[in-house]
Amino acid sequence: MTEPSTAPEAVKKVSAPPPAAIDHGHDDHGHEAHDPIHAANPHLAHHFDTPQQQFDAGKLGIWLFLLTEVLFFAGLFCAYTVYRAMHPEVFVYAHYFLDTKLGALNTCVLLISSLTAAWAVRNAQLAEKRALMLNIVITIACACTFMCVKYVEYSHKFHDGLLPGKNFQPKEQIWELKSFRDRHPEAAEYAEKLSKLDEKKAAPAAPAAAGKAEPAKVEKLERPTEEELEPLLAAGLVGPRSLDPSAHISRPRMAHVFFGIYFFMTGLHGFHVLIGIGIWIWMLVKASKNQFGANYFGPVDFTALYWHLVDLIWIYLFPLLYLIH
Amino acid sequence: MASPTTTADAAIPQTKGADDNYLTHDKGFASWAFTLDHKRIGVMYLASVLTAFALGGVFALLIRTELWSPGKTIMEHDTYNQCFTLHGAIMVFLVIIPGIPAALGNIILPLQLGAKDVAFPKLNLASYYLWIIGCLCMLGSLVTNAADTGWTFYAPYSTTTQTNVIPAAFGAFILGFSSIFTGLNFIVTIHKLRPPGMTFFRMPLFVWALYSTALIQVLATPVIGITLLMLIVERVFGLGIFDPGLGGDPVLFQHFFWFYSHPAVYIMIVPGFGVVSEIIPVFSRKRLFGYQFIAISSLAIAFLGFLVWGHHMFVSGQSVLAGTIFSAITFLIAIPTAIKIFNWVSTMYKGRIHLDTPMLYALAFLWVFTIGGLTGVFLAVMGVDIHLHDTYFVVAHFHYVMMGGAITAFLGGLHYWFPKAFGKMYNEKTGQIGALIVFVGLNLTFFPQFILGSRGMPRRYYNYLPEFQGLHQLSTIGAFTLGIGFLITAISLGRALKNGKKAPNNPWGGVTLEWTTVSPPPYYNFQTPPPVTAGPYDGYEDLVYDEAIGGYVARVTGGSAPALGK
Amino acid sequence: MSDDKPEADKPAAAAEAAHEHDHDHADHDHDHADHDHSHGGHAHGEATAHADGHDHGLAHTTPVWLLFGILGALLVLTVATVSVTSIDLGAQGNLVVAMIIATVKAALVCTFFMHLLWDKKFHAVLFLTSVLFLILFLAMTTNDRGEYQHLVDEYRAQQLQAK
């Protein structure tokens, strides 16, 4: 190491690289090979000076990433908000098709997995390897349960023709659904009458949604009561917001948009759950190798934070999609 | 501030050889492909971004050639649409948004912080690979019935056109993540890896600029991500959110798109501000005027940039109320921007100006960006915008700020840091000639477009009335001039890489930390972070030019040893 | 923003500093996660009593009883939010209540499960900023859509009449 000498010539020399000193072979970090902090902490990266610095950096990093995830989902929440504000009938219509119980089950499953994730962080901090691995396994199990319930829901929907976007062709009419009949029995009956009228109008026995209005002899129905009409109006089944206002009853014009939004939001969320499962498995492997302890538990902490965000998104998705009144 | 003469002291390399540096440290393709060294990643980005710039430039020349005369000149109208779409998409997503942060920032930021690397080196490499993948997706669209929607992908055309929108949109989606990860990395690096004594208000302004940019990258880019994803899903599944034929709302698409794309233009320009802030004090040999104001104004611009996206939508069907709000806030952004310009000019006042190539670019920036920025304020006036929206006036405005602003600053920064990054000096004369021709070229290309636009020439038009031909031809000549200027610059730098004179540690006399290490730096940058005891623009008077090495060293007074730090 | 000074007073990489801080290995009475106390030689976690949630090493450790308590609260709130749907509170009322309950749940998850209560304030600021931007985006877009919705409705009505 060239010390700055007092001689003026030293000024000129110094800017040239000094002659090679000790060759530390491949470990030329400029760290002495015997740097105690890095030696004692095999998981401390070379560009960090202390485990605390590494942990703090990682924590800030994951929070920034969560920030981006919030804004990523923001677009979908925005589309949801705009459409619900402008077309509330679509959302009322669609919610009869969704199973609140399964949604609530999924909510509870995710909440439990959040607990086990947070607990796992504690285990990692305290180097409690067994408990850590158990909590990670339970978290993964809950996540898989979530995905299975999701799969059940999706397959029901596909089976019932409730496909996203332009493929939306429900097989059952909404007033034939149990959830509608239970809530609004009078309206369900009235809807039946209206749809029979439409069947008579249409030339082949097509359902009202085909909406070819051939003015034939129309039976006059009695004026509907409040209980009969109001739920149908709210769901956009009758009136100017229905697909075919000239028919007596048909689904709302924009019904497919809800299911597009539904599948996109839950699908994207499910994709994040899958990624989470992958990362937790990776953490399980690392935990099994006894890597975590007081000076190195960042990865578990950061994975748990990601997982909590996935939970947070579902906490909002659930009421917005499943608890529409 | 660690005095530059103590280069070796601050960064005594225990290296394999006297000349070992990050470029020579490891050899072979794998050592580059799997590198975690921010400098190597930066160099790879630099090469990639410049290549993409050349490609985007080829499309620009094709466009300008086609517009030499009305009607068909060299291509059909559909092809023309594809040309300007690709020109825009490549330039915006592949060149300017990554541009200064990824290429220059990756090399220089840790050096200016006295750090060994960025906070997450693997994430940095991942960012680069995401760029490559995004680039390949875009090229995929290019070679297979390229998208013709314009880089803005407006619905419903983008949801219904038969051209290959999906690869282009998906490419931009991937590039968004590349951008996000770079920004994330920089924020954590700046928060956690500063050297002892470097408080936030002792950071160089390039770091402040990268910080502000990174905040925008992290907050805004996810929104374009989801927008492009929604666009793709709408094309494939007919979601019905944007396409009115399916019950959607096309204005909603514009809201979604511009919520990102307006802050994106600040991602493009704010790093340029940072580069100019670095160059001007050094080449005026004078302390930067109003450091704190420039620093805070970067943050102000970043913040305000999120509140003005609707000024791209005045004629879209957006409500007048929203338009009024957006218009008013847009005027406000002029203020922090102007503060910067005034401070830079004040820095030069009574300084000793050196008109080296980086300074030429910085001066060009001042001139050209002022024009571009002011014309932006014209466009912010709703009544004026009704006439100027979608005309060449807008095209001229954004090219003045993006080409005259971002690219000029990029080239200035490239020349400024070239000796540090590559250890070679370029030929100063050729550099200056290149800068001059670029300056002439860009004014010649784009100033006529202001006139074209105000006289009613619409943008993205293949055909035009004969009365516009003269100005179009002027613009085309300018475009080729610009191309020649870039070519000269590229050749100059290429020759410097091969045969350039060896660069001293501090050829320009800067006092920020990167000048305290050797050129090129050793692969671990600094052994110990040099202590910081003064601001980043203090101490020019302590440096003196040494003919023998062609660089600056500390002034030696009375034979005493130069001290480490002050 | 300048919340955390870099390890400014101690040259971070210098091995000497680590040795000076060797004294506090035995006890773990730390109350801030961002103080650089635990240097090397600390590779194994102490299995001493940490149920009371004192800081351990790099960060605060959440006590298990608190985790279960929060879960309990979350489950109760979930039951509540489902039950409320059977009460009719008007077109917007149910939505507002559901959002309030969801926000309370979210706040619990953020503060306790995600550790924000014991973390650097900057992280909470970051997260709230993202929520703020989300609200800004939603508000402007919905407001704008509301403003021109009448044009869409008029057009629709025209189309229906024309049929």
Nearest to B187 among A64, A72, A73 (CB): A64
Nearest to B199 among C2, C7, C140 (CB): C2
Q: Looking at the structure, do residues A184 and A221 belong to the same domain, yes or no? A: yes
* Domain assignment of residue B25, yes or no: no
Place of tokens 């000269």: B488
Q: Which residues of C touch A315 (CB under 8 A)?
A: 102, 105-106, 109
Hey, which residues 225-254 in chain A have their CB within 8 Å of chain B?
A: 253-254
Q: Please compute the mean of the pLDDT values over residues A177-197 and round it to a whole number.
A: 83
Q: What is the spatial distance between Cα A78 and Cα B241, in angstroms, rounded to a whole number?
A: 11
Place of tokens 């001039």: B481
Q: Please compute the mean of the pLDDT values over residues A42-55 and round it to a whole number.
A: 90
Please report the pLDDT score of residue B14 as a whole number: 39
Q: Which residues of B touch C5 (CB under 8 A)?
A: 199
Q: Looking at the structure, do residues A156 and A204 belong to the same domain, yes or no? A: no
SS3 C38: coil
- Contact between B49 and B69 (Cβ < 8 Å): no
Do residue C6 and residue B252 have CB atoms under 8 angstroms apart?
no
Place of tokens 């504000």: A85
Q: How many CB pairs under 8 A join B and C?
A: 66
Q: Please compute the mean of the pLDDT values over residues B276-303 and round it to a whole number.
A: 94
* Domain assignment of residue A10, yes or no: no
Model confidence at B1, in pLDDT bands (50, 70, 90)? very low
Model confidence at A16, in pLDDT bands (50, 70, 90)? very low
Do residue C8 and residue B199 have CB atoms under 8 angstroms apart?
yes
Please report the pLDDT score of residue C48 as a whole number: 41
Model confidence at A204, in pLDDT bands (50, 70, 90)? low
Q: What is the spatial distance between Cα B158 and Cα B235, in angstroms, rounded to a whole number?
A: 8
* Domain assignment of residue A269, yes or no: yes
Please report the pLDDT score of residue B534 as a whole number: 81
* pLDDT averaged over every residue in chain C: 72
Q: Looking at the structure, do residues A75 and A181 belong to the same domain, yes or no? A: no
* Domain assignment of residue B82, yes or no: yes
Model confidence at B19, in pLDDT bands (50, 70, 90)? low
Please report the pLDDT score of residue B508 as a whole number: 93
Mark which of A250, A270, A297 sits at the end of a domain: A250
Q: Does B191 touch chain C (CB under 8 A)?
A: yes
Model confidence at A238, in pLDDT bands (50, 70, 90)? confident
Q: What is the spatial distance between Cα B1 and Cα B540, in angstroms, rounded to a whole number?
A: 11
Q: Please compute the mean of the pLDDT values over residues B485-506 and round it to a whole number.
A: 94
Q: Does B23 touch chain A (CB under 8 A)?
A: no
Query: Would you say residue A245 has pLDDT above 50?
Result: yes
Least confident of A205-214, B6-15, B478-487: B6-15
Which tokens hold the place of B5? 């003469």
Nearest to A15 among B7, B225, B559 (CB): B7
Please report the pLDDT score of residue C56 as a whole number: 53
Residues of chain A with pLDDT > 90: what percent?
44
Please report the pLDDT score of residue A28 as a whole number: 44
* Domain assignment of residue A23, yes or no: no
SS3 B545: strand
Q: Does A264 touch chain B (CB under 8 A)?
A: yes
Give Cβ neighbours of residue B566 (< 8 Å, ≥ 6 apart). Answer: B1, B3, B533, B534, B539, B542
Q: Which residue has the higher pLDDT, B223 or C159?
A: B223
Q: Which residues of B touch A30 (CB under 8 A)?
A: 11, 13-14, 116, 522, 524, 526-528
* Domain assignment of residue B535, yes or no: yes
Least confident of A100-114, A220-234, B70-84, B399-413: A220-234
Query: Would you say residue B235 has pLDDT above 80?
Result: yes
Please report the pLDDT score of residue A171 as a whole number: 83
Least confident of B65-69, C48-52, C87-91: C48-52
Q: Looking at the structure, do residues A158 and A194 belong to the same domain, yes or no? A: no
Model confidence at A232, in pLDDT bands (50, 70, 90)? confident
Query: Would you say residue A12 has pLDDT above 60?
Result: no
Q: Please compute the mean of the pLDDT values over residues B350-378 and round it to a whole number.
A: 95
Please report the pLDDT score of residue A34 as a whole number: 53
Please report the pLDDT score of residue C54 as a whole number: 52
Q: Please compute the mean of the pLDDT values over residues B145-158 and round it to a whole number.
A: 91
Mark which of A250, A275, A306 sits at the end of a domain: A250
Identity of the residue numbered C126 = L
CA B64 to chain centre: 23
Which tokens hold the place of A81? 């908000």
- Contact between B289 and C110 (Cβ < 8 Å): no
Q: Looking at the structure, do residues A199 and A296 belong to the same domain, yes or no? A: no
Model confidence at C163, in pLDDT bands (50, 70, 90)? low
Closest CA to A64 of B188, B301, B130: B188
Model confidence at B560, in pLDDT bands (50, 70, 90)? very low
Q: What is the spatial distance between Cα B307 and Cα B262, in angstroms, rounded to a whole number?
A: 9
Q: Please compute the mean of the pLDDT values over residues A109-121 and round it to a whole number.
A: 96
Please report the pLDDT score of residue A241 as a whole number: 73
* Domain assignment of residue A7, yes or no: no
Q: Looking at the structure, do residues A223 and A315 belong to the same domain, yes or no? A: no
CB count within 10 Å of CB B484 equals 15
Task: Chain B: give the shortest CA distance to residue A95, in Å.
Answer: 18
Query: Would you say residue C158 has pLDDT above 80?
Result: yes
* Domain assignment of residue A78, yes or no: yes
Tens-digit pLDDT profile for residues B23-36: 888 888 898 999 99
Tens-digit pLDDT profile for residues B473-488: 999 999 999 999 999 9
Query: Would you say residue A42 has pLDDT above 70?
Result: yes
Mark which of A250, A270, A287 sits at the end of a domain: A250
* Domain assignment of residue B26, yes or no: no
* Exposure b/e, B398-422, CB count within 10 A at least 16 = b: bbbbbbbbbbbbbbbbbbbbbbbbb
Model confidence at B472, in pLDDT bands (50, 70, 90)? very high
For testing contact with chain B, the best of A13, A68, A309, A313 (most B CBs within 10 A) = A68
Least confident of B167-171, B372-376, B455-459, C40-44: C40-44
Please report the pLDDT score of residue A145 as a whole number: 96
Q: What is the spatial distance between Cα B5 and Cα C49, in angstroms, rounded to a whole number?
A: 54
Q: Give the range of the structural domain holding residue A87, as residue numbers without chain letter.
A: 51-167+256-322
Looking at the structure of chain B, the number of domains it has is 1
Closest CA to A317 of C102, C108, B252, C138: C102
Q: Please compute the mean of the pLDDT values over residues A183-204 and round it to a whole number.
A: 80
Model confidence at B219, in pLDDT bands (50, 70, 90)? very high
Least confident of B267-281, B540-554, C9-23: C9-23
Which tokens hold the place of A130? 């067994």
Least confident of A10-19, A254-263, B438-447, C45-54: A10-19
Residues of chain B with pLDDT > 70: what percent?
95
Model confidence at C55, in pLDDT bands (50, 70, 90)? low
Model confidence at A220, in pLDDT bands (50, 70, 90)? low
* Domain assignment of residue B472, yes or no: yes
The two beta strands, B551-554 and B424-425, are: unpaired
Q: Looking at the structure, do residues A260 and A242 belong to the same domain, yes or no? A: no
For B244, the closest chain C residue by CA position comes to C152
Query: Would you say residue B15 has pLDDT above 80?
Result: no
Query: Would you say residue B122 has pLDDT above 60?
Result: yes
Q: Give the range of the structural domain holding residue B487, as residue numbers without chain letter.
A: 4-14+33-554
Please report the pLDDT score of residue B543 as a whole number: 86
Q: Which residue has the higher pLDDT, B171 or C152?
A: B171
Do residue A108 and residue C78 have CB atoms under 8 angstroms apart?
yes
Distances (CA, A) of A297 to A54, A89, A310, B548, C57: 11, 49, 20, 53, 10
pTM: 0.87
Query: Would you say residue A3 has pLDDT above 90?
Result: no
Q: Looking at the structure, do residues A179 and A293 belong to the same domain, yes or no? A: no
Looking at the structure of chain A, the number of domains it has is 2
Tens-digit pLDDT profile for residues B280-289: 999 999 999 9
Bond preceding residue B70 cis, omega within 30 of 0: no
Query: Would you say residue A65 has pLDDT above 80?
Result: yes
Q: Please compute the mean of the pLDDT values over residues A31-44 and round it to a whole number.
A: 76
CA B237 to chain centre: 36
* pLDDT averaged over every residue in chain B: 90
Model confidence at B18, in pLDDT bands (50, 70, 90)? low
Angle at A297 between CA A273 and CA A125, to 5 degrees: 110
CATH assignment of the domain containing B38: 1.20.210.10
Q: Does A72 touch chain B (CB under 8 A)?
A: yes
Give Cβ neighbours of residue B55 (< 8 Å, ≥ 6 apart). Answer: B90
